[in-house]
Amino acid sequence: MITAEQKPLDEIREMLAPYRRVLALGCGSCVAECAAGGEKETAALASALRMAARIHGEEILVHEKTVDRQCVREFILPLDDIMGDYDAVLSLGCGAGVQAVADMYPEVPIVPALNTEFLGETKDQGYWVENCVGCGDCMLYYFGGVCPLARCAKQILNGPCGGSVDGRCEVNPDVPCAWQLIIDRLTRLGALDRLERIYPPKNWARKQGSGPRKIVREDQQR
Amino acid sequence: MTDPSRRTLALFYCRNVPEAGEADRQAIEAAYGGHIRLFPLPCSGRLEAVHLMRALEEVADAAYVITCPEGACRYFEGNRRARKRVERTREMVAAIGLEPERVGIVIGSREAPKTLAQLAARIYEETSRLGPSPALKRPGTQPPACERRRSWL
């Protein structure tokens, strides 16, 4: 899922300063799962903004609403009925959600309340880690289900680098060496021979070298 | 009707605190004339930042939670979670310019257990010293002009 963290309140307040009537818009999907922009977080942030305005003698109206998915047009459409009431939208969606709302309502300023972080795996309650960089050319088969691009600090495809100590990364000893994990897993699977080939440098054009990526599936379209 | 010269405390509490039944709750609220608003929780781990924030915004000058003693949570870690959530809420409160002491947690003691009424009295006395909260919506105050304008739409 997509992970995010809330921006500092001062930054949000600064961006909202020109506006008097604000809709705080949460998203009930990924950012709710990572406790950054779901219904509860949207309500808490809206409360904080109203209280801050009261303390500082400012005049601002903050209403709150959470849609199930801010990045899907059909879920945003019901906002048509209320959008005219607001000067701006404070989006607690990920970057995709913010831009989907901005695209739907070109006349309404939109302010991001979150910093979108990474594609994360939920390791434990309140603990998310980046395990995928969305490179567009998955090589997890060759590396036993451990991605060296996301999990190796040096992003090397022909590892290990030789610097790890006791299976920990030399750059950040808090994390396991991705290449140690790769070799351990491939050994367990009896597939260590997958590392006998030399992997050429990654073709990053499939990630971001050609502008924004898109997926078109005609079988899923109208 | 509450006395505007007195402070109001929103108090969330774990139902496992001694003498924290419904009759006790009603007795405390009546004794304080509505200046202590009590919110029973099945476990303090149910508490979220939004509960404390809403309480500060709508009903109280301070918002606290009382938990059962460390290691005594019926659900194992509810009181530990409550403590972390209170810490996070205090950061949010500080970020808007409010004293973080307006939010807090009191963890019950195994060795010297106190009743809900005793703990509520102590917390009320301590938080009342902070004075009125500038963040609290006072009854009878006009909504912001931008809110009033909305009624024309």
Q: Answer whether B121 touches A (CB < 8 Å).
A: no
The pLDDT of residue B143: 63
CA angle at residue A85 from A84 to A89, to 5 degrees?
85
Among A44, A59, A85, beta carbon nearest to B145: A59
C-alpha separations of A62 from A12, A15, A127, B53 in Å: 13, 14, 30, 14
Contacts of A21 in chain B (CB under 8 A): 146, 150
The answer to whether residues B32 and B68 touch, using CB atoms and an 8 Å cutoff, is: no
Mark out the alpha helices in chain B (DSSP H runs).
Answer: 22-31, 49-58, 78-95, 116-128, 145-150
Among A43, A55, A59, beta carbon nearest to B96: A55
Cβ distance of A44 and B150 shorter than 8 Å? no
Cβ distance of A85 and B150 shorter than 8 Å? yes
| CATH, range A2-118 | 3.40.50.2300
Model confidence at A78: pLDDT above 70: yes
Q: Does domain B9-150 have CATH number 1.10.3470?
A: no
The pLDDT of residue B152: 40
Which candidate, B51, B10, B134, places its Cα nearest to that of A47? Answer: B51
The pLDDT of residue B153: 36
- What pTM, to 2 d.p., does this model score? 0.91
- What does the pLDDT average to over A164-189? 97
Residues of chain B below pLDDT 50: 149-153
Identify the band that residue A212 occupies on the pLDDT scale cut at 50, 70 and 90: confident
The pLDDT of residue A218: 86
Query: Which chain A residue shows the shortest CA-CA distance from B151?
Result: A85
The span from the CA of A172 to the CA of A161, in Å, is: 14
The answer to whether residues A112 and A95 touch, using CB atoms and an 8 Å cutoff, is: yes
Which candidate, A132, A161, A135, places its Cα nearest to that of A146? Answer: A132
Q: How many CA atoms lie within 13 A of B96 on its CB side?
A: 29
How is chain B split into domains, by residue range? 9-150
Contacts of B146 in chain A (CB under 8 A): 20-21, 59-61
Identify the band that residue A214 occupies on the pLDDT scale cut at 50, 70 and 90: confident
Identify the band that residue A219 occupies on the pLDDT scale cut at 50, 70 and 90: confident
The pLDDT of residue B147: 60
The pLDDT of residue B150: 47
The span from the CA of B135 to the CA of A52, in Å, is: 7
The span from the CA of A113 to the CA of A37, in Å, is: 8
User: ipTM, 2 decimals?
Assistant: 0.90
Residue type at position B67: T
The pLDDT of residue B5: 80
pLDDT tens digits, A114-165: 999 999 999 999 999 999 999 999 999 999 999 999 999 999 999 999 999 9
A195, two tokens? 């590392």
